[in-house]
Amino acid sequence: MAGTKDFDLYRPAEEHDELRKVVRQLAEAKIAPFAAEVDEEARFPQEALDALVASDLHAVHVPEEFGGAGADALATVIVIEEVSRVCASSSLIPAVNKLGSLPVILSGSDELKKRYLAPLAKGDAMFSYCLSEPDAGSDAAGMKTKAVRDGDHYVLNGVKRWITNAGVSEYYTVMAVTDPEKRSKGISAFVVEKSDEGVSFGAPEKKLGIKGSPTREVYLDNVRIPADRMIGAEGTGFATAMKTLDHTRVTIAAQALGIAQGALDYAKGYVQERKQFGKPIADFQGIQFMLADMAMKIEAARQLTYAAAAKSERGDSDLTFQGAAAKCFASDVAMEVTVDAVQLLGGYGYTRDYPLERMMRDAKITQIYEGTNQVQRIVMARNLPK
């Protein structure tokens, strides 16, 4: 897929428009029919994984040299946006595959890239990201998980919390302390495999939304791994983690954008069919104003998200601000739009017979993970454009 090096107007090229059509068709045919069931049963969306892998859409960001599609950041955003339009849980397959593997892409050795990106690209494995801990959420540098050098190996001990797709993914990028005296500069990154002795998982969290994407603790009990599984140099893990989030916050913006668009699309169709006082409620000015505001805010979020995707692709110096802004704005819009969409359906919107209450529940997490929106505002304030 073409890059976005000259992508200045933040408008999708023809290639991206074609990709959107393909993903939307796939999502509506093979993912949407299972979305309510996945949510109701809180089960992993295997149908979505199978469909995405079959169409090579599960990890489009992987470079071509490792067997991937080599999609640019905007193409990745479009895939996530279109999948989340029908099922937010399923959109976490391509989103978290990027989150988990991006540290390897950014900082890993050539050998590490070949070893772990090729299976990801083929669909033989998924990748998760282990940063947060029970006592280290927003203050990620306060983590307690340790990695102690022992000859040609490191031994890892600790607990990681809120790990998306834990137990399903084969590979995990794990941040661990290698030098307690240096705080953030004493943190290193490693690839841990699900099959490594000493790796286990907690019970799935019982969540408000994205119920189809398992969120579990990851336990590391004397996990002994070869030293060559370190990502980058010792002590650079935290910097890699933060650089990763600069890029992947754009994917959360995309997820929020898709949820909001799906809610608007459904509500728009409903108000055109629903009649009160002898005419469709879409004819009432109050309803029209709500729809107009929803559409306006979604389009603003889309432009901000696509602009951030272009900056991610180019590696622009203001990506930290733009990624945080896109994630923060789009997720706030998603929450507002889904609440309004429920309102437009009245009592029906409050029932599980319709998808909007699910979309509203799913939208909430986009304001929380990969840094709460309060943290995003701190990030923006510290990186104001000059």
Q: Which of 82, 133, 357, 370 is catalytic?
A: 370
Which residue's entry shows tokens 């490792």?
Answer: 66
Q: Which of 93, 114, 107 is CA-nearest to residue 38?
A: 93
Q: Which of 298, 311, 331 is CA-nearest to residue 383?
A: 311
pLDDT tens track for 115-142:
999 999 999 999 999 999 999 999 999 9
pLDDT tens track for 286-336:
999 999 999 999 999 999 999 999 999 999 999 999 999 999 999 999 999
**What are the φ and ψ backbone dihedral angles of 241, each rounded to 5 degrees?**
-60, -45
**Band of pLDDT at residue 11, cut at 50, 70 and 90:** low
User: Is-catalytic flag, 273?
Assistant: no
Q: Give 66's contacts (C-beta < 8 A, 6+ positions apart).
A: 113, 114, 117, 118, 121
d(CA 171, CA 117): 10
pLDDT tens track for 193-238:
999 999 999 999 999 999 999 999 999 999 999 999 999 999 999 9
**What are the φ and ψ backbone dihedral angles of 277, each rounded to 5 degrees?**
55, 30
Specify the pairing of strand 146-150 against strand 187-193: unpaired
Q: Under DSSP, is residue 351 helix (H, G, I), strand (E, B) or coil?
A: coil
Superfamily name with CATH number, domain 238-382: Butyryl-CoA Dehydrogenase, subunit A, domain 3 (1.20.140.10)
User: If one looks up domain 127-235 in CATH, what number appears?
Assistant: 2.40.110.10
d(CA 355, CA 116): 37
| pLDDT at res. 268 | 98
Chain-wide mean pLDDT for the chain?
Answer: 96
Arithmetic mean of pLDDT, 96-111: 98
Let me know if domain 14-122 sits in CATH 1.10.540.10.
yes
d(CA 238, CA 248): 15
Q: Which of 71, 78, 66 is CA-nearest to residue 23?
A: 78
| pLDDT at res. 4 | 38
pLDDT tens track for 43-71:
999 999 999 999 999 999 999 999 999 99
- Domain assignments of the chain as residue spans, ordered by start: 14-122, 127-235, 238-382
- What 24-30 contacts at long range (C-beta under 8 Å, 24+ apart), as own/partner pairs, is 24/82, 24/85, 26/51, 26/52, 26/55, 26/57, 27/82, 27/83, 27/85, 27/86, 27/87, 27/90, 28/86
pLDDT at 8 over 90: no
Q: Under DSSP, is residue 31 helix (H, G, I), strand (E, B) or coil?
A: helix
| pLDDT at res. 3 | 41
Percent of the chain with pLDDT over 90: 96
